[in-house]
Amino acid sequence: MTKEQVIKIFSEKFGNQTPEVYASPGRINLIGEHTDYNGSFVFPGAIDKGMIAAIRFNGTDKVRAYAIDLDESSEFGLNEEDLPKEGWAKYLFGVCREIIKRGGTVKGFDTAFAGDVPLGAGMSSSAALESTYAFALNDLLGLGIDKFELARIGQSTEHNYVGVKCGIMDQFASIFGKKGNLIRLDTKSMEYAYFPFDPKGYKLVLLDTVVKHELASSAYNKRRESCEHAARTIAKRHPEVEFLRDASMEMLDEVKNEISEEDYLRAKYVIEETQRVLDVCDALEKGDYETVGQKMYETHHGMSKLYEVSCEELDFLNDLAREHGVTGSRVMGGGFGGCTINLVKDELYDSFIADAKAQFKAKYGHEPKVYDVVISDGARKL
C-alpha cells in the first residue's frame, strides 16, 4: 500500500488532519538460524515488504488504532493494565509500554497501518510492526532512543506482551536494514558489518509453504530453554561460557551424560550453525556461492533432524531443490512452517519454480507462494 493510500484511509477513519507516515520492513536471513538467543551470529537483510503506518497524536491518553488489512479497530490506554484484547494491538501496546518503561513519555495517538509481509511465513511481520511504531514514536516524540534500543523495544514487546522469547535478529534487521546489503550481526557484542549482496548469475527466492503449525511459539520457547540449559551445564566446568556461542563441541561432549539427548542435539545444532555463519561470510567474500549453498543445505539438515523445527512440507521443498541441483536451500526463520530460502542459478530458476509449484500442489493441494528477494532499507519516515 502506498503512503497516499494509507493517508486516505487514515483520514476517512480519524478526520482530515494529515498524519505522518513511517515504514519498516520484514527480513530474510541467509544463514544463522536460532543462533540469536545463543549469543551467536546471524546474517539477515531487510526486504521490500513491510508495514506502513500513518500516525497522529490525538490530544488524549488513548491509542486508537485501525488495522487496515483486517478491517479491525482497537482502542487502549497506555497503562500496564490496559492490554488490548486484539492480538495485533498487543504489538502496538507493547511498544508503547516498553518506551514508557525506558523513561519515555508516550502520548495518545490515532493510527492506521497496513502491511505486505505474508503472515506466518517466517519473514517477520511482527518485527516490522514493532519497528515501525518504535521508530515512529521515537522520531515524533523526540525521545533520542538509539537504534539498538529501538530494536530491543521490539524484542521486549515479544517477550513481555506476546510471549515469544525471541532473539534480536528480526528487529535488528528491520531497523538497521540497508538496500543491497546483508548484515552479519554478532548478537553477543552487537557488532555488525554490512555485506553487499548481489550474487551475479543467481537469484534468491523464497518458497512459502503457506503452512503454519500450531504451538510454534511454545515450541520456540522450549528450544531456547534447551539451549540455555545446555549452556548453564557447560558453564559449571567452563565458567567462561555465557552462551552456547562460547562453547565448543568438545565442551558439549563433556556434559553429554548430564543433559537430555534432546538438549544435546539442540546444542549441537547451535554450535555447528555458529561455524556455518562464519564459513558463509568467508565464502561470500570469495564469491564462492557453491560453499554458501552447501552450508544452507547443512543448516536445513540440522534444523530438520537436530533442532526439529522443520516440517514435512518444508522438507519436501528442500528435497526438491536438491533434486533440481539448486545451489542452496533451507527452512528460513523460526520454522514450524513458513518458507524455504533458495539460492538458485538463473538458468535453473524457471524450471525449478514451475516444478516446485506443480509437485507441491499435487501433494498438498495448493501451490507454494513464490517471493523473489529484494534487499531493501530499514525503518524510515516516508
Of 105-134, which residues contact ligand GAF (CB under 6 A)?
A: 124
Nearer to ligand GAF, 128 or 166 (CB): 166
For residues 185 and 284, which CB has a smaller minimum distance to ligand GAF in the complex? Answer: 185
Residue 170 touches ligand GAF, criterion: CB under 6 A: yes
Q: How far is the CB of 199 from ligand GAF (least distance, A)?
A: 21
Q: What are phi and psi of 112, to 5 degrees?
A: -130, 135
Q: In what order do the strands lie in the sheet with 109-115?
A: 72-77, 62-67, 109-115, 44-57, 20-29, 380-381
Q: For ligand GAF, which stretch binds (CB under 6 A), given 46-54, 163-171, 235-243, 336-344?
A: 163-171
Q: Is 36 in the site for ligand GAF (CB under 6 A)?
A: yes
Give 222's contacts (C-beta < 8 A, 6+ positions apart): none
| CB neighbour burial string for 242-281, b if at least 16 within 10 angstroms, e if fewer | ebbbbbeeebbeebeeebeeebbbbbbbbbebbebbbbbb
Complex with ligand GAF: residue 328 or 333, whichever CB lies closer: 333
Cβ(49)–Cβ(32) below 8 Å: no
Only segment of 34-42, 192-200, 232-240, 282-290 that touches ligand GAF (CB under 6 A): 34-42
Q: How far is the CB of 333 from ligand GAF (least distance, A)?
A: 5
Find the binding residues for ligand GAF in span 309-348 (CB under 6 A): 333-334
Q: And the C-alpha cell for 117? A: 509481509
In 3D space, the residue among 179, 178, 182, 116 whose CA is nearest the CA of residue 147 turns out to be 178
For ligand GAF, which stretch binds (CB under 6 A), given 30-38, 249-257, 268-276, 320-328? Answer: 30-38
**Residue 250 cell numbers, joined:** 568438545
Q: Interface with ligand GAF includes 34 (CB under 6 A)?
A: yes
Nearest distance from C-beta of residue 357 to ligand GAF, angstroms: 26
Main-chain phi, psi angles of 205, to 5 degrees: -135, 140
Would you please indicate which residues are annotated as catalytic (active-site) residues? 170
Per CB under 6 A, 33 contacts ligand GAF: yes
Specify whether the backbone of 308 is left (phi greater than 0), alpha (psi in -120 to 50) or beta: left
* Minimal distance, residue 76 CB to ligand GAF, in Å: 24
Which one of 166, 216, 271, 292 is in contact with ligand GAF (CB under 6 A)? 166
* Number of residues in contact with ligand GAF under rule CB under 6 A: 11
Residue of the chain from 39, 167, 177, 302 that contacts ligand GAF (CB under 6 A): 167
With respect to ligand GAF, which residue has the nearer C-beta, 124 or 327? 124
Nearest residue to 334 (alpha-carbon basis) of 160, 90, 99, 121: 121
- Helical segments of 238-382, H only: 249-254, 261-285, 289-301, 312-323, 346-364
Residue 36 or 98: the one with the smaller Cβ distance to ligand GAF is: 36
- Report d(CA 28, CA 20) in Å as an integer: 27
Segment holding 75, helix H or strand E: strand 72-77
110 vs 158, which CB is nearer to ligand GAF? 158
Point out which residues bind ligand GAF (CB under 6 A): 33-34, 36-37, 124, 166-167, 169-170, 333-334
